[in-house]
Structure formats: structure tokens, C-alpha cells
A = this chain, B = another copy of it.
Amino acid sequence: MASSEFRPLDEKSLVEYIKATPRLLDLLGEKLEALTIKEVGDGNLNFVYIVVSASGSVVIKQALPYIRCIGESWPMTKERAYFEALTLKEHGHLCPEHVPEVYHFDRIMSLIAMRYLKPPHIILRKGLIAGIEYPLLAEHMSEYMAKTLFSTSNLYHSTAVHKKAVAEFCGNMELCRLTEQVVFSDPYKVSQYNRWTSPYLDHDAEAIRADNTLKLEVAELKSMFCERAQALIHGDLHTGSIMVTTDSTQVIDPEFAFYGPMGFDIGAFLGNLILAFFAQDGHASEENDRKLYKQWILRTIQDTWNLFENKFTTLWNDNKDGNGEAYLMDIYNNPELQQLVQKKYMTDLFHDTLGFGAAKMIRRIFGVAHVEDFESIADPGKRAYCEHRALEFAKVLMKGRHGFQNINQVVSAIHEIPV
């Protein structure tokens, strides 16, 4: 149905919407008697419905003009659905293996219909809490990040294409602003929505607000986030935006997408894996001490960066005679120079990644939105212990990021955080 104005849907009105939308009828079949509709949005920003009929299935996501988990008191443009759909399509085109197909987008209704990622797909964060290993995770996520980031950067496309896309995504300003606030600002000041495991972390919260060095670093990262249009980034690539099975890895929810620094995506993913690592002690039990699982997480962190670096560089080499204008072949025309240039590029990106990763960790401990990895640790003392160690490491990472030469050194530094 080509709605002429926005209406928030519910389980009931969604049926009417489906009946009036040929593309959805195609997918679900004309007979809609056996239709089941379940709202599964985990309460963050939007409403998500799983729709299953006798002959098909679809997920319908609708953005309302406010932030769901806060309520109408925190308005937020529903145009975010437009940028989410655009990015799902663009990233899906670049990496169809790891992005669900978009079947239908209705801009007026801020509504996306996409492939239903069926069980046993679960949100990766839940898998990490449950202690499940995903042997292909590093391979898949490095593939997704390398393909989407490389192919939307100046390394791959021309200035003309780049500037046009940058301009379009400037329209997703409200979502950028939300990130600026909740990631780069709120944790470093007194803010209405901040919270932490009190009283255990009261001193830590205060220390962050008095840490000049940390604030200096976070300012640099914030500027980079605001100013640097390096690639079309997902913008919210934590472990809650990834659905997995043992064989499949699917990236959802790119409503924060814009042209920003690549390190913000890679850092989000790695930072959230590090949070998952530090949360494991809170999930350990007599039956399962999680020791082996912690090793798997660390291996996944290492493999992700190393595979990413490899895949990204391979894409660069494979496309060095393409449309990208950043490094013209006539200038970067000898193997030694090419190596030098790539080494510098990857090292800078690595340091950005560590900085942004650290910022994403800190905000999950002191900001408005926490992570289930810690929240599900019932004993607040135990939870605070895990969070405190994650915080200590995040500070090391943010302040010392330029000193790390490779991901192995990062993992060694994790081991050095006092128990």
C-alpha cells in the first residue's frame, strides 16, 4: 500500500499493510489465514516484526519518530529507516553473503521488509554470553568489513562518486549526533542518562570525568568521527547487530550509517568482543570455567584483525588499476612504495580501530546503553569487577593506542590487566 502518510503499525494494522502491498503478498502468498506476527524488537530503537505465513516469511522493521527504549521524550527522525535501507542495499550489494536482502522499502512509513534470519540464527551477543564458539566468525566479519569499507572508500571509487555519496549520507545527521553524544560526550561528563554499577564503580566514573589525558584522546576521536568521510560505515557494528549460526554471519541494523572513519566499525566489533571477554568471569560456573572460551574470543579478535588486514590489502592490490583516485598507479608505481603506503595506511587504521574500540567499551559501562554481557551478571559486585577490568583495559587502549604495532600486542595487554 502506497501510504500517503506515516502511521505507526502494530500486529493488527501490519496485516492490513501486508494485504495492500503486492511485493509482500508475493513473498507471503495470497492466503494469509495462517499468518503469525511477532514483535521481537529487543527494545532499543525500533519495532521489528517477524511475519510467517504458510508459504513464506519476512521481517518488517519500522522506525518511529523517537527512541523506543527512552520513549517520546527523546525524539529521533524516522528518516533513519531510509539510511538503513540504503546501506543494507549498498552493503548487501558489496557483500551479499553477510547482509540480509531488502525486499521492500517504504520511505513514508519508515518501513523495511527484509529477509527473515531464521532460527537457529541468534544475536551474536547472546551466543557470546552463552559461551558458544563460532568458528567462522572472524572469517565472515573480516570479509564483511573489508568488502564494505574498501569498496566505499576513495581507494575504490572516484572523487565524483565519493562526494555524491558523502553528501547524501550527511542527511543522517541526527543519528551521527546521537553517537557523538552517547559515545564521545556523555561518559566524560555528568549526564542525565548515564548510569553504572553503583556504588562499586562510583570512583571509576568520577576518575573518568577527571582524566585529562583520556579527554584529550576522546576529543581527537570525536573530531575524526565528525569530520572524516573515509567510507560508508555501518555506524553501530556491535555484537548486537550481528546474527549468527555456526555457518552463517549476518549483519543487520545499519541505521547509523554514514561516511565516517573505518576504524569506528572495526573498533565497534573488536571492542564488543573485548567486553564479551571481560564478562566471561561473570558467567563462569563450576561446570564451565569459561577458560577455553576466553581463549577462543581472543583468537577471534586476533584472527579478525589479521584476516581483515589481509583481505583489505588484497582488494587494494586487485583494484589498483580501477577508479580509485587516492593512490594513482602512475605515482605509486613500484612494489616497495606500494608496500610502504599500504603499511602506513593499515597502521593508521589499526590505531584508529583501537581508539574507537576503547570509546565504545567505555560508553557501555558508564553511558545510557549498557550491554547484556554485563547486565546479565546478576551479582553486582561480580559485574562491577568485570566492568572495572574492561574499563582499565579500555583506558590503556585509548591512551596508548599508537604504541601497539599489531593485534598480538593488544591481546598480550589484555592478559596484563590485574585480576
Contact = CB atoms under 8 A, between A and B. Distances in A.
Interface residues of A, number: 47
A299 interface: no
B331 A216 contact: no
A170 B166 contact: yes
Interface stretch (A22-30, A59-67, A217-225, A247-255): A217-225
Given A154-B223, A331-B215, A170 B159 contact: no
A160 B223 CA distance: 15
B159 A328 contact: no
A327 B160 contact: no
A363 to B, nearest CB: 13
A167 B170 CA distance: 6
A134 to B, nearest CB: 33
A176 B189 contact: no
A183 to B, nearest CB: 13
A230 interface: yes
A20 to B, nearest CB: 34
A228 to B, nearest CB: 5
A336 to B, nearest CB: 7
A412 interface: no
Interface centre among A160, A163, A327 (most CB of B within 10 A): A163
A83 interface: no
A325 interface: yes
Contact of A167 (B171, B328, B336): B171
A326 B173 contact: no
B159 A176 contact: yes
Interface string A321-359: 000011110111110110011001000000000000000
A377 interface: no
A337 B212 contact: yes
A140 interface: no
Interface string A135-155: 000000000000000000010
Interface in A109-156: 154
B226 A189 contact: no
Interface string A169-211: 0110110110010000100111100000000000000000000
Nearest to A339: B212
A159 B173 contact: yes
Given A215-B331, A331-B188, A177 B160 contact: yes
Given A177-B160, A190-B330, A330-B189, A227 B154 contact: yes
Contacts of A219: 326-327, 332, 341, 344
A402 to B, nearest CB: 13
Given A154-B226, A219-B326, A163 B173 contact: yes
Contacts of A188: 331
A169 to B, nearest CB: 9
A229 interface: yes
Nearest to A161: B173
A159 B177 contact: yes
Contacts of A189: 328, 330-331, 333
Contacts of A166: 166-167, 170
A227 B228 contact: yes
A222 B162 CA distance: 14
A332 B154 contact: no
B185 A163 contact: no
A291 interface: no
12 contacts: A159-B173, A163-B170, A166-B170, A180-B325, A189-B328, A212-B334, A212-B336, A219-B326, A219-B327, A220-B344, A227-B228, A229-B229
Given A188-B331, A228-B228, 5 more contacts: A162-B226, A215-B331, A219-B326, A226-B325, A229-B229
The 4 nearest A-B residue pairs measured at CB = A167-B170, A189-B330, A163-B173, A167-B167
